[in-house]
Every structure is written in C-alpha cells, then in structure tokens.
C-alpha cells in the first residue's frame, strides 16, 4: 500500500479524497498498489466525515512518518505551504500542489530542492484546473522555441463575463454563484483583479522561456472596468472581450508578459470559450498554434490534475530531465511600456479628424452611439499609446475605454 498525505480539506483537497475513493480500483491498477490518504491536514474539524480519524491539525505526524512518500498540497497561499513542502522534500517525500501562488513565487526554489533530493515537485493543477497543459508544454512541445502562450486562465472571471454579457446578470450575482460553485479564490479579489491569472501566466512563461517570472513584475489589470458598451462594440466589430494572460517572445528576445481584458476576434478560438472553461493557446516555431481547453476551476477537474500528478510521482523516476526552469534571469522580462500592441479605444469629445492626429494609421469602427467614436490603433508600444491618450485627453478628448487587441495568430 502507498501512503500519502493531503494538506487542506477545502474544495480541491476534498475532491482529491473523493477521486481516491471513487476511482480506487483504477488507481490501484495504474500504480500497482492501493493508495491511501493516511493523513488529511486541516485546522478545521469535520465531524461525521467517514475518514474523520485521518484528520490531523499539525504537519509533524506527516513529516515523521517515513512511509508517507507523497504529499499533496491544496491549502493555498505561500506560507506555511512553502516551509512545510520544503521540509517534506528534505525528508525525501515527493510533493504535488495545486497552489499557483506558491509555484509563481517559489517554483524555482522548490524545483531545485526536489532535484537535489531526487523527488518529484509537480503542479499540473496550478494552471487551467483540469486541463493538461504544463506537462505537454514541458514535454510534448520540447522540440519548439515557444513564441507565445496566451489564454483564458481564470474560470471565475470568464464565468462572470459570460453571465454578465451573455445573460444580463449583475456582477455581484455572477460572482456569488462562482463562489458557491467553488470556482473563486477565498478572496475573490485575486480573481477579479487578475492576480490569479497573472500567477498562472508566470508559471506558463517560466516553463516556456526557462526563467522564473514574478507576478509583481507583470502588468496586470482585472475585469472591473469592462462595460456592456465595450462588449456591444466588440460584437459589432466581430469579437468579444475576455480576460487574457499572455506571454510573448518579443523581437529583441525578451519575454513580454501581461494580464488584461483583451478584444478577441471571433476568428480566434479563445473567443468561443465560455463559463468556467479555460483555454490556453501555445504557439511554437515548429508546431504552429496548439490549443488546450477544458474546465479551468472546480473541485473534481482540479483534483483530477492533482491525482494525475500523484500517479506520475508513484510510478515514474524523478529527476530524469533538466529542471523545468531556473532562477529569474536579469533582463529576461520586457517592460510592459515597451511591448508592441494595438488598442481598441472609445473616445468622446473628439471627431475622427482630430483623433487621427493622435493615432495615425488608426481604423475607425462604425457604431450607432451618439457622441462617441471607436477606433483600433495602429501597432505601437504601450508607452506610446498611453502618451497619445494623455495628449488626446489634454486636448479635450475623453477616453471611455482602452482595450488591447489579441491577434489571431493563424
């Protein structure tokens, strides 16, 4: 029998236990032995649970039990997860996590420590919920220079946008439902303000470009400023607005990362992704464009990815390949202001002729709104586009919204 421990009995942790019980025989066939969650750590009590006797409130019995070979973490947050998992690895235990904040902040350290100790550190569930994307990016696409990773990386905000603009729901109502369904973070500000998507694009970029990227260095904007008018304009133009995390290789070789609501053309598959679903577009120099799609949040989809990693840890040797990524390489990240983009703008108080002076080469969109003009700028750096916007406002224009355009790469 293989003894494992689960840290955290919240949405994901309880989902892991459910899968271990429901698919017990399948997992036994795949690992060659029964798998038992011998310890489930949570500060809360769960009276009446059939496995109540396995609940513990301290990490010590887990660390002290040398038969526990794999520890699954689904608590969230950097501490105490980082200290506890580091100690588990030092004790020779493989570690699996769904905790994107931890991986985005400390992934390089934990990867190096796990390699030194000859154990696994796996985190497929940290990006895209149940979608297999990290392992394909790391292994199946390894023959490619990755030129771009872009996607819908947060189920909660995609669920909210779909409900608000597809079904006319109010923001608070859509968010409340996402919380009830177990999609949202404990503090849903991390979803709504784009921080969760930012952690995920940092993890994807770290694998794609081999350097650790920190969320605090990435330009991040959430969904709170998207209006029904933006979505109506986008529909008339032939697209929609989605919260996108994107990491591109810039012409100078640096990586350009950002998280923001973007205007997505209908020709791009990402425009079709609705509800809690996520999708990640990975473009490589040899393969071209690939797409990974599936449920991006929720109990069983996320737990499915955790248990997939568990089977890997129980059946495959650790450390047979170079590290997924190493420490941050100075200068690897291109400042957002220098990245090239096109923007969709809605402006009032200025006519087309006046606007053209600030945005040479722009394309105007036709729409029925009285007193406002919409346009798509020519490509320029984000810094130049900001400066043009400030100059237009100083001359009496009022910018009602500014949304970066996501190109259809195909």
Task: Kindly list the catalytic residues.
Answer: 200
155 binds ligand HSE (CB under 6 A): yes
**8 or 155: CB nearest ligand HSE:** 155
Among 42, 101, 148, 185, interactor with ligand HSE by CB under 6 A:
185
In degrees rounded to 5, what are phi and psi of residue 243?
-80, 120
Residue from 273, 297, 332, 350 in contact with ligand HSE (CB under 6 A): 297
Phi, psi at 207, each rounded to 5° = -70, -45
Choice between 4 and 192, CB closer to ligand HSE:
192
* Euclidean distance between CA atoms 19 and 300, whole angstroms: 8
When asked if residue 184 is in the footprint of ligand HSE (CB under 6 A), the reply is yes
Instruction: Please tell me the distance from the alpha carbon of residue 312 to that of residue 321, in angstroms, as a whole number.
Output: 14
Contacts of 265 (CB under 8 A, 6+ apart): 238, 239, 271, 406, 408
Q: What 3-state class would DSSP assign to 315? A: helix
156 binds ligand HSE (CB under 6 A): yes
Interface stretch with ligand HSE, choices 18-26, 182-190, 234-242, 348-356 (CB under 6 A): 182-190
Is residue 191 at the binding interface for ligand HSE, with CB under 6 A as the rule? yes
- 203/333 with CB nearer ligand HSE: 203
Q: What gap in Å lies between CA 260 and CA 152, rounded to an integer?
A: 10
Got the DSSP string for 92-113? T-EEEE--HHHHHHHHHHHHHH
| CB-based contact 218:258 (threshold 8 Å) | yes
- Residue 309 within binding range of ligand HSE, rule CB under 6 A: no
Task: Give the integer Cα–Cα distance in Å for 85 and 61.
Answer: 14
Which one of 36-44, 152-160, 206-214, 345-353 is the stretch in contact with ligand HSE (CB under 6 A)?
Answer: 152-160
Omega of the bond prior to 249 within 30 degrees of 0, cis? no
Does the footprint of ligand HSE cover residue 154 (CB under 6 A)?
yes
Which residue in 91, 50, 63 sits closest to 5, CA to CA? 63
By CB under 6 A, what part of segment 122-151 binds ligand HSE?
Answer: 129
In the complex, least distance from residue 183 CB atom to ligand HSE, rounded to whole angstroms: 4
Helix and strand numbers (H, E) in the chain are 14, 18
C-alpha distance from residue 205 to each of 39, 239, 315, 329, 376 (Å):
34, 26, 28, 13, 28
Residue from the set 296, 308, 389, 397 that interacts with ligand HSE by CB under 6 A: 296
- Binding status of residue 183 toward ligand HSE by CB under 6 A: yes
Please enumerate in sequence order all residues whose Cβ is within 8 A of that of 78, keeping only pairs 6 or more positions apart, or say none: 101, 102, 105, 106
Choice between 115 and 178, CB closer to ligand HSE: 178
Which residue in the shown chain puts its C-beta closest to ligand HSE?
156
Quote the tokens at residue 315. 């059946």
x-marked contacts with ligand HSE along 244-283 as a string, rule CB under 6 A: ----------------------------------------
Cβ-based nearer residue to ligand HSE, 130 or 284: 130
Considering only residues 101, 108, 196, 258, which one is a binding residue for ligand HSE as defined by CB under 6 A? 196
Closest CB 247 distance from ligand HSE, rounded Å: 17
Q: Are 341 and 389 in contact (CB under 8 A)?
A: no
The region of 55-63, 183-191, 321-329, 375-383 touching ligand HSE under the rule CB under 6 A is: 183-191
Binding-site ranges for ligand HSE (CB under 6 A): 129, 154-156, 183-185, 191, 196, 296-297
């Amino acid at each position: 029998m293989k003894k494992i421990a689960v840290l955290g009995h919240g949405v994901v942790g309880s989902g892991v236990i459910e899968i271990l019980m429901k698919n017990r025989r399948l997992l036994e066939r795949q690992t060659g032995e029964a798998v038992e969650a011998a310890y489930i750590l949570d500060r809360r009590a769960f009276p009446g649970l059939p496995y109540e006797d396995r609940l513990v409130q301290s990490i010590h019995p887990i660390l002290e039990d040398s038969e526990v070979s794999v520890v699954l973490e689904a608590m969230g947050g950097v501490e105490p997860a980082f200290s506890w998992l580091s100690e588990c690895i030092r004790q020779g235990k493989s570690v699996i996590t769904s905790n994107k904040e931890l991986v985005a902040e400390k992934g390089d350290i934990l990867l190096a420590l796990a390699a030194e100790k000859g154990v696994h550190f796996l985190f497929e569930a940290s990006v895209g919920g149940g979608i297999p994307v990290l392992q394909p990016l790391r292994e199946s696409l390894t023959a490619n220079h990755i030129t771009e990773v872009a996607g819908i990386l947060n189920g909660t905000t995609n669920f909210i946008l779909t409900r608000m603009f597809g079904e006319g729901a109010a923001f608070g109502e859509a968010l409340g439902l996402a919380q009830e369904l177990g999609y949202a973070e404990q503090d849903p500000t991390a979803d709504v303000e784009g921080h969760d998507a930012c952690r995920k694009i940092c993890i994807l970029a770290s694998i794609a470009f081999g350097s650790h990227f920190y969320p605090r260095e990435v330009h991040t904007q959430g969904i709170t400023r998207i209006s029904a008018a933006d979505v109506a304009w986008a529909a008339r133009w032939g697209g929609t607005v989605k919260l996108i995390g994107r990491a591109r290789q810039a012409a100078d070789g640096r990586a350009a990362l950002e998280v923001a609501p973007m205007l997505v053309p209908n020709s791009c598959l990402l425009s079709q992704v609705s509800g809690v679903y996520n999708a990640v577009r990975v473009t490589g120099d040899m393969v071209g464009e690939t797409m990974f799609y599936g449920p991006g949040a929720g109990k069983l989809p996320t737990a499915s990815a955790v248990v997939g990693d568990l089977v890997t840890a129980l059946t495959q040797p650790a450390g047979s390949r170079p590290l997924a990524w190493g420490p941050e390489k100075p200068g690897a990240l291109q400042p957002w202001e220098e990245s090239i983009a096109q923007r969709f703008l809605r402006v009032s108080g200025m006519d087309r002729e006046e606007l053209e002076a600030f945005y040479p080469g722009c394309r105007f969109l036709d729409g029925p709104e009285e007193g406002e003009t919409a346009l798509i700028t020519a490509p320029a750096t984000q810094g130049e586009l900001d400066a043009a916007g400030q100059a237009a406002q100083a001359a009496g224009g009022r910018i009602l919204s500014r949304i970066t355009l996501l190109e259809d790469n195909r």
